Amino acid sequence: MSGGEPGGHEPRAVQRALALLEAVATLGSGASARDIAALTRVPPATAYRLLNILVADGYLVRVEDLSGFALGLRTRELAGATPAPEPAVDPAPVLEKLRGQLRHGIYLASYSGGRVRLVDRDPDHELSGESTWTTHLHASAIGKLLLVQRPDLITPGPLRQITTRTKTEPAEIAAELRQVRDIDAACEIDESRIGRTALAVPVRSPDGQLTGALTAIGRTGRLRESDVDVWDLLRSYAALLTGPPPTVRSAHCARRSPQPG
């Protein structure tokens, strides 16, 4: 890399730079320096310095409002050098058809190695705070689906309260995850961002293994957790992606008690 000596031991600096690139790919466009440093466990000062070098060399770019980072052209060129394996089902036509039936944003996420990655973003609905959505699993609908299968991913110690509606108490989270397991669906209301609601259903492999989530995102009040039609559409299109999910008891999320604003 150009941009000057990264400082200290070069092999370790290279390892850290690669870890930062991987973190941006995992967190998604707009990942903040703080979240990148936390995910990679690189000291913040070192992370900031390496991120700036990666930007200067074109491996990363800053998002328009300068609040975070995204993969740059040189990284995308490297990723394209070896073709990725073809998925069992091409999600593009399935998602396009679903988007034509709903006015809300539709996103497809995948789970790999205990991490969440958005693999298809709705081009007509911008998702603000994407890195928060994929990093703080307890505050997002797609994260809750994964936590049911991987409770070990709940970080020890106090959980971050993203908004005044974010659940952080262990007993409250445990109760919600039991509900998510029972209904095989998850939702969030103002938990990762005030004014945003998300409904998520699992995407499974033909043998029933959880591989990702199909999610509808909209403004709180416009997208409702009680909307059976939205739940039914999400479930039917999730089945088209990788095979039918197991039978569920209900299509509704748990009701939430009012919380002080």
CB 107 within 8 A of CB 118: yes
CATH fold for domain 10-79: Arc Repressor Mutant, subunit A (1.10.10)
* Section 185-214 average pLDDT: 93
Q: Given a cut of 50, is residue 25 above it in pLDDT?
A: yes
Give the mean pLDDT of the chain. Answer: 82
Helix (H) or strand (E) holding 211: strand 210-219
The CA distances from residue 23 to 14, 26, 116, 139, 152, in Å, are: 14, 5, 11, 19, 20
Cα(253)–Cα(197) distance, integer angstroms: 12
User: For the residues 91-120, what does the mean pLDDT come to?
Assistant: 91
Residue 219, amino acid: R
Q: Where are the domains of the chain?
A: 10-79, 91-242
The set of residues, in sequence order, having a beta carbon less than 8 Å from that of 148 and lying 6+ positions away, is 177, 180, 181
Query: Residue 86 pLDDT more than 80?
Result: no
| pLDDT, tens digit, 9 for 90 and up, residues 88-97 | 578 889 999 9
Segment 119-140 mean pLDDT = 86
Q: Beta strands of 130-195 (E only): which ranges?
A: 186-189
What does pTM read for this prediction?
0.64
For residue 95, the number of C-alpha atoms closer than 13 Å in the C-beta half-sphere is: 22
59 and 75 Cβ atoms separated by less than 8 Å: yes
* Euclidean distance between CA atoms 133 and 198, whole angstroms: 10
Average pLDDT over residues 82-109: 80
Specify the CATH number for 91-242; select among 3.30.70.1230, 3.20.20.140, 3.30.450.40, 3.40.50.170. 3.30.450.40
43 vs 37: CA distance, rounded Å: 6
